[in-house]
Amino acid sequence: MRIQIYALSLLFFFMLGLPASAAPGLWDSLFRVKRVEPGTKVQKKTLPPVSSRDLEIAEAVSRAFAAVVKRAAPAVVFIQVEKTVIRKEPLPFPFGPFPFDFFGDDFLHRFFPQVPRKFKERGAGSGFIVSADGIIFTNNHVVAGADKVIVQLADGRTYRGKVLGRDPQSDVAVLKINGKNLPTIPLGDSDKIQVGEWVIAIGNPFGLSHTVTVGIVSAKGRSGLGITDYEDFIQTDAAINPGNSGGPLINLRGQVVGMNTAILTRSGGYMGIGFAIPINIVKAVAEQLIKKGKVVRGWLGVVVQDLTPALAEEFGLKSTEGALVAQVMKGSPAAKGGLKRGDVIVSYNGKPVRNSSELRTFVGLTHPGTRVSIGVIREGHRITLEVTIGEFPRAEEVASAPAVEKFLDEMGFRVRELTPDLARELGYRVRKGVIISAVAPGSPAAMAGLRPGQLIEEVNRKPVKTLGEFYEALRPSLRSGRVLLLVRDQRFRRFVVLSR
């Protein structure tokens, strides 16, 4: 073996030192080099010329995009907000920086006093004008907790914005500026858009005013993402980045079909998956915010869950589409309308119901007092029930109260209701509860060690299993500025006190 390696090495070095002119046959045989003699014609492969007809079509499409943007862009606004946040910071070490900080800042924070300090935070987003007198639609998370809202138009004019209403559960907000004859953008019908349609996103990503990106509708009816309480998102591959939130998603007719809201990312930037709230949902929520300053939602009074293949087989169903009724509340509209545990709801007022999240959205957007037809599969037979939708119970309505929203902002965390799928994913045996969905860095919640995925079992010594119970138990904290939580993860429970 060594002799073979040695021989190959000698051959290699011999070849390196051998001039190409000295042994042309050797080089050709070793490397299969094809020589082209001078004067030989080389056949070139050329692409066929673009026909004038094809070029005309491409240019027409390009002009169509440009025309849509030219009409829509003046109605897209840049929103800048300023808010006051309170954070606790340690008192400075009396003799300068601690010389042996081996364990990091979090370690020292346990032993040195924490003092609350006020900070000014600035943020930015997008919005679009829907009326000539200055009504603007945007996302709730763009203006939540804002002390000051500045709206800048495409022509550079700036206005002080007033928040007419916000709805955290759908992430929709309505602003008003004092202007006249302002440029507006027409609203379309999001129920009519199709997967594969071209769409245009206009916004202010990273403060870059009136950035235009193009893509298609990648999917419809996306839910279970944990972005909002009511989810029925349009998915698009049009580039959406921080700062695009609240901006319009437009079809080729120049109509708004969605409000750009969120992205799915691991890097913090665009990765080809963006989500927009369908404009039909935005319109329904905004109409109530303008008239009442709040949103009154419909209530059916059932606990529903998604169907798994095993459940579908057990109930004799051919697919997993629908919402399985696990519980019917006594005296609820569902009980009065004849719904029973074990029913599978497959349609709502003529619209197919694919999952529990979709049913929740349909019911929530239904005005209380409306009579609806609900298609149900019961013991293998399809029946239709007539149900009069009620109003969501008061305990749940606290969710949209500005005081509660502000308190959670000050504490620096967000919550959502636990679903069976989420419980399995997080490793919890319980199927009902309230979990922490987000924690702001540097907030009181972060300083206390709270983190996303933890389960909140008690608020101010009261057990909580639903968002309604959570918000109801939180009421005393709005006055005292303190809240006692019992939280747990997959291993341990512990009490946590948060305060302003």
pLDDT tens per residue, range 413-425: 888 888 777 787 7
pLDDT at 1: 47
- Is there a catalytic annotation at residue 245? yes
User: For residue 278, what are its two tokens?
Assistant: 């369908």
pLDDT at 404: 72
Q: Letter for the amino acid at 267?
A: S
pLDDT at 101: 44
pLDDT at 131: 94
Q: Dihedral of the CA atoms 311, 316, 320, 324 (nearest 10)? A: -60
pTM listed for this prediction: 0.64
- How far separated are the first and last CA of the chain, in Å rounded? 77
- Is there a catalytic annotation at residue 171? yes
Give the Cα separation of 51 and 68 in Å (integer).
26
User: For residue 224, what are its two tokens?
Assistant: 């279970």
Q: Dihedral of the CA atoms 235, 238, 240, 246 (nearest 10)? A: -70
Set 126, 141, 306, 347: catalytic member: 141
Give per-residue pLDDT as tens, 261-296. 988 766 666 677 889 999 999 999 999 999 888 888
Task: Evaluate whether 307 touches 320 at the Cβ level (below 8 Å).
Answer: yes
pLDDT at 243: 85
**Beta pairing, strands 158-160 & 162-167:** unpaired
Q: What residues contact 474, with CB distance under 8 A and at least 6 apart?
A: 398, 404, 407, 459, 460, 483
117 burial (CB, 10 Å; 0-12 / 13-18 / 19+) is exposed
- CA angle, 479 as apex, 405 and 90 as ends, to 5°? 80
Residue 244 assigned ligand-binding role: yes
User: For residue 184, what are its two tokens?
Assistant: 């507006």
Beta carbons within 10 angstroms of residue 419's beta carbon: 19
Q: Find, among 405, 416, 425, the residue nearest to 468 by Cα.
A: 416
Set 167, 171, 237, 343: catalytic member: 171
Set 190, 245, 347, 400: catalytic member: 245
Residue 210 assigned ligand-binding role: no
- Is there a catalytic annotation at residue 400? no
Give the Cα separation of 174 and 290 in Å (integer).
7
Give the Cα separation of 218 and 237 in Å (integer).
6
Beta carbons within 10 angstroms of residue 141's beta carbon: 20
Residue 59 assigned ligand-binding role: no
Residue 171 assigned ligand-binding role: yes
What is the sign, positive or negative, of the torsion defined by CA atoms of 50, 51, 55, 60? negative
| Angstrom distances, CA of residue 346 to CA of 222, 305, 356, 369 | 17, 12, 10, 22
Residue 141 assigned ligand-binding role: yes
Which portions of the chain are predicted below pLDDT 70?
A: 1-45, 86-117, 224, 226, 265-270, 393-403
Domains of the chain: 60-293 (2.40.10.120), 298-391 (2.30.42.10), 395-499 (2.30.42.10)
pLDDT at 424: 79
Beta carbons within 10 angstroms of residue 53's beta carbon: 8
